[in-house]
Amino acid sequence: MDNLTVIKIGGNVIDDSAALQRFLTAFAKLAGPKLLIHGGGKIATQIAAKLGVETTMVDGRRITDQAMLNVVTMVYGGLVNKQIVAKLQALDVNAIGLTGADASTVLSEKRPVKDINYGFVGDIKEVDSGQIQFFLRQELTPVFAPITYDEVGNLLNTNADTMASAIAVDMSHHNSVTLIYCFEKKGVLADPNDDSSVILELTPTLYAEYKAAGTINKGMIPKLDNAFQALQQGVSKVIICHADEVALAVEQGAGTTLKQ
């Protein structure tokens, strides 16, 4: 079974052109088949403001009405995705930019309204890992924007961490998959204000203890929930690390490694 590296790159790195270039340079040098899922950063919010589209966030999640869906599709699936693809081409990586709608790779359903109406937000139903495998066999490197689609033809804004986890899980039917979440911190921190306080290994028991103590909170919780779920469903290894340490994480180990 071939090794596959699935990497999700966070929005704050995308907002920093120098940091993004460093990451992509390291990504380009990684051996073996790989694919990338990216977030959108603050660019969508900035462009929405210029277009007079109001941004509403609830617990870090974007409310996506039709106007905001148009913005995130343009920004995530267009501007950000194609900039990343172009930079990878310049680094001799034959990248192909995709949303979940392309080649029917990631099918979702519109999130049902419960306490909050998130609008055109997608919860993933199915990943076509065979189609993604086809791209890899053509020596292409898929670069996914966090946009999916539903069975009636709607585009849907989809959480990039969740998309990375779902793709990694389905690809684990074909490959031994390492899933890496890269962002601007050195890993999961015991002290959010001390970048040297990296928790080297995290188990479900330790995770529950850190959550109960409030050490792990806010946006890190859905990221880790996705990560542990990926481990339980067949992904071989999950690492959370700084974008500058992605090569080190793959080759020797860096950041926080999750274990069952």
Residue 40 among known ligand-binding residues: yes
Q: Sign of torsion, CA 224 230 231 233?
A: positive
41 is in an annotated binding site: yes
The tally of CA atoms less than 13 A away on the side-chain side of residue 80 is: 32
Phi-psi region of 212 (alpha: psi -120 to 50; beta: other; left: phi over 0): alpha
62 is in an annotated binding site: yes
Which residue positions form the known binding site for substrate? Answer: 40-41, 62, 157
Which residue positions form the known binding site? Answer: 40-41, 62, 157
